[in-house]
Amino acid sequence: MYPEVVPVVRCPNCTAHPLTLLGPLYEDGEIVVGALRCEFCAVQTPIREGIWDALNDRLLPLTPAQITNYLPPAARLYEPLWRWNALTLMSGRRFPLREELTLLRGLIQPRPDRFYLDVACSAGLYARTLAAPGAIVAAVDHSWAMLREARRQARERGLRISYMRASAQALPVVNGAAAGVVMGGSLNEIGDQHAALCEIRRVLEPDGQFFCMNLVKATSGWGRVLQSGLSTGGVDFPKLATLNQWFDRAGLRREAQWRWRVVAITLLQLANLK
Ligand SMILES: C[S@@+](CC[C@H](N)C(=O)[O-])C[C@H]1O[C@@H](n2cnc3c(N)ncnc32)[C@H](O)[C@@H]1O
C-alpha cells in the first residue's frame, strides 16, 4: 500500500475517516508493514506484505468458484492460462487482450492525481492497465493469493499500485473518491451483486466512470449447458436485460454498451437519483 491512498480509505468497522497510519516500514516508497487505526472506534487493521487487510484476517463465506481463487497456483496461472485468451474464446471473434485493455484505457483515461479502483482484481490486470504516470491506483480482492500475485506482478513492472484485502460489498473507500472504477469478469461470481454495485456507485465521484466487463447468458445450447454447470459453483450469468436492471437499480446509468456473444462491456456513470 502506498501513502497517497491513505487519505481515501475509511474504517472497515465504522466507516469513519481519516485513518491514522501506525508504525510504517517502507520499501521503495511502499508501506510494507504497519497498521491503520480508526480514532473513532479504535479498530486497527494490519498492513502486511505490502497489502492492507481491511478484513482483519476475517474469512468470508465462499462459493466453490470463490474458493478456487484462494489457491496460490490458481492465482499464478489465472492470467497466462485463461485471461490472455478469455475474450477470444467467449466472444466468437478474435479479441486480443491488447484490444480490451486499449478500450479500458481509452474510456477511463487515467489522469495524474486522480484515484482509480479495480474491484475484485484477481492478478491485477486492469489495475496495471490504469497505472499511468501520477494516477493513484488501488485494487481490492478478498483472496490473499490473488493479491500477493497482483502485487508481485506490479512490483516486477515498477508500478505503484496499492492492494487492499476487502469485500466488494464493503469497499473501505470514502464516498465519491474515485474518478474511475473498473471490474473485469467479477460481477458473475461476486455474490451479492446489488450490494457490490451500490458500493461502486458510492465510491464514484459525481462525474466518475465505471467500466464493467462481464459475462451474460448464452443463447447457444452448448453455452447454456456449460453455464448451468458453472452456476452450481456460484457463478451467475444474467440475461443482458437483467444485467441492465441491476445497473439501473444501483443508480448507475449506461453510457455505452457492447456485446459479443456472452461478453458484455458497459461504461456507466452515476444516474441522477431523485
Ligand atoms: C474473474 S476474477 C477477476 C478477474 C480480473 N478482474 C481480470 O480482469 O483479470 C474474480 C475475482 O473476484 C474475487 N472476488 C469474488 N468475490 C469477491 C468479493 N465478494 N469481494 C472481493 N473479491 C471477490 C475473486 O477472489 C477473484 O480474484
**pLDDT tens sequence across 101-142:** 999 999 999 999 999 999 999 999 999 999 988 999 999 999
Q: Which residue has the higher pLDDT, 166 or 70?
A: 166
* Residue 189 near ligand 1, beta carbon < 6 Å: yes
Chain mean pLDDT for the chain: 95
User: Across the strands, what pairs with 256?
Assistant: 267
Q: What percent of the chain has pLDDT over 70?
A: 99
**pTM score of the predicted model:** 0.97
Is residue 221 over pLDDT 90?
no
d(CA 73, CA 59): 20
Is residue 266 over pLDDT 80?
yes
The amino acid occupying position 235 is: V
Per-residue pLDDT, 273: 61
* Residue 209 near ligand 1, beta carbon < 6 Å: no
**Best residue for ligand 1 mutational test, from 140, 142, 163 (most atoms within 8 Å of Cβ):** 142
Find the mean pLDDT for residues 82-94.
Answer: 94
Residue minimizing CA distance to atom 8 of ligand 1? 184
- 194-215 as b/e: b if 16+ CB within 10 A: eebbebbbbbbbeebbbbbbbb
* Residue 184 near ligand 1, beta carbon < 6 Å: yes
Per-residue pLDDT, 13: 98
User: Across the strands, what pairs with 212?
Assistant: 183, 266
Find the mean pLDDT for residues 60-89.
Answer: 89
In sequence order, which residues have a C-beta less than 8 Å from that of residue 164 and are 6 or more positions away? 1, 9, 51, 52, 53, 54, 138, 139, 140, 147, 172
* Strands, sheet with 44-48, edge to edge from the N-terminal-most edge strand: 19-27, 30-38, 44-48, 51-53, 161-165, 136-141, 115-119, 178-184, 204-215, 263-270, 252-260
Q: Which SS3 state, helix, strand or coil, does residue 70 take?
A: coil
Per-residue pLDDT, 186: 96
Q: Which residue has the higher pLDDT, 61 or 270?
A: 270
Is residue 88 over pLDDT 60?
yes
Q: What does the pLDDT look like over 16-42, one tens digit per residue?
A: 999 999 999 999 999 999 999 999 999
Find the mean pLDDT for residues 182-210.
Answer: 97
Q: What does the pLDDT look like over 224-262, one tens digit per residue?
A: 889 988 888 889 999 999 999 999 999 999 999 999 999
Q: Which letter does DSSP use for residue 3 in this model?
A: G
Per-residue pLDDT, 124: 98
Per-residue pLDDT, 61: 74
CA-196 nearest atom, ligand 1: 19
Task: List the chain domain ranges.
Answer: 61-270
Find the mean pLDDT for residues 156-183.
Answer: 98
Residue minimizing CA distance to atom 14 of ligand 1? 120
* Residue 193 near ligand 1, beta carbon < 6 Å: no
Q: Which residue has the higher pLDDT, 157 or 68?
A: 157
CATH 3.40.50.150 fits 61-270, yes or no: yes
Is residue 4 over pLDDT 60?
yes
